[in-house]
Amino acid sequence: MIHVPSLILDVDKCKKNIRDMALKAKEHKVTFRPHFKTHQSLEIGRWFKEHGVNKITVSSLEMAEYFLPEWKDITVAFPTNILEIERINRLAEKIQLNLLIESAETAKFLIENLTNPVGFFIKIDAGYHRTGVQPKDGNIIDDILKISEVSAKLIFKGFLSHSGHTYKCQNKADVLDIHQRCMNTLVELKEKYKNEYSNLILSLGDTPSCSIAEDFEGIDEIRPGNFVFYDLMQNKIGSNAIDHIAVALACPIVAIHDDRNEIVVYGGGVHFSKERLENEKEGTIYGRIVEKNENSWGDLIPDTVIKSLSQEHGIISVSDDQIKNYSIGDYILALPIHSCMTANLMKRYKTTDGKDILMMNSW
């Protein structure tokens, strides 16, 4: 029974998303190192093991610590935070920990302060311009490698990139264009350094590229995360169909304003997050409502969107002929704009097969 806003997880859809990506990785002979920042759950993590996955990606050292009991090879895909050196040393004592480095300063700090060996990737900025070394700055790469060579505790693994700018694409062609440039950048680097580092790995992995592209020539590892649930933002980019989206937020209806075709639900910015999509038709939206069926959900209900969110309130715009279908004490199901942010706020799942699944930092 739904009493309060609840994040419903369709287990079949989620497991299918995992299986499909695992198969794609096998087909393209790339290592599948999924990013677990989307689901943040030990239990969902186990569903990957059925597909032979034994290496994962996380976005913080805290998250690495959470997954440590069940995962022994973890890449923290975030520029190394040297202020957490104690945590790094604690983790590196127990697992194969891989860090991201993009400056000589960080490399120097690590060789002086590491107590156990860690792997590291040099983060490459292949066009997103958020973090990473630009490929033209070969001297920074060389500096980092030179520093690492004097220490047995800092082991070069390869080059890693994240094309986060695919999230701003409006179509598949643009995603493929970014993906191709990213691959070219990484493959060129491998060419340059492979004689010296024969085992170096090329790692990439945004969900749009991994979902849409069919060419991973020269790439060794992919790290998509969001695909485990997908969402409306990914659907708009072209990564997934609506029926691949594996999470929906159940929100109790608390008021109906039929004079303006709006319903008010218990479900606001502290549940969905304030992520939004801009659409030509509807303007800014914060989610879309789907049809409920016995245990899960079906198609989008046309012209039924979350048009605004306050802290706990969601305002849903409903079409004139549909408003009569809603009543106080019922609940709606809404697909989120950005499932990573919604899951992070909700901190637990209710599965379509009736179980509760906890996440990191569930209370």
Count, residues near a second copy per rule CB under 8 A: 58
Question: Whole-angstrom Cα distance, residue 163 to residue 184?
Answer: 13
Query: Which range, of 200-208, 212-220, 237-245, 250-258, touches a second copy by CB under 8 A?
Result: 250-258
Coil, helix or strand at residue 135: coil
Question: Whole-angstrom Cα distance, residue 88 to residue 120?
Answer: 12
Using the rule CB under 8 A, is 328 a contact of a second copy? yes
Angle at 143 between CA 142 and CA 148, to 5 degrees: 95
Torsion region of 159: left, alpha or beta (phi above 0 gives left; psi -120 to 50 gives alpha): beta
Using the rule CB under 8 A, is 139 a contact of a second copy? no
Using the rule CB under 8 A, is 340 a contact of a second copy? yes
In terms of CB distance, is 110 or 300 closer to a second copy?
A: 110
Using the rule CB under 8 A, is 252 a contact of a second copy? yes
- Measure Cα distances from 199 to 153, 189, 288, 322 in Å: 17, 13, 46, 60
Positions in 289-308 near a second copy (CB under 8 A) = 308
- Binding mask 71-90 toward a second copy (x if CB under 8 A, else -) reads -------xxxxxxx--x---
Which residue is associated with the tokens 């040099």?
122
Report which of 147, 72, 139, 76 is spatially closest to residue 113, judged by C-alpha positions: 147
Q: What is the 3-state secondary structure (H, E, C) of 273-292?
A: CCCCEEECCCEEECEEEEEE
Using the rule CB under 8 A, is 168 a contact of a second copy? no
- Binding mask 51-70 toward a second copy (x if CB under 8 A, else -) reads --------xx-x--------
Query: Which range, of 17-25, 49-57, 100-108, 297-305, touches a second copy by CB under 8 A?
Result: 100-108
| Chain residues in the site for a second copy (CB under 8 A) | 1-4, 37, 59-60, 62, 78-84, 87, 102-103, 105-106, 109, 129-131, 134, 164, 252, 254-257, 259-260, 264, 266, 269-270, 273-275, 308, 310-313, 315, 327-329, 331, 340-341, 344-345, 347, 361-363
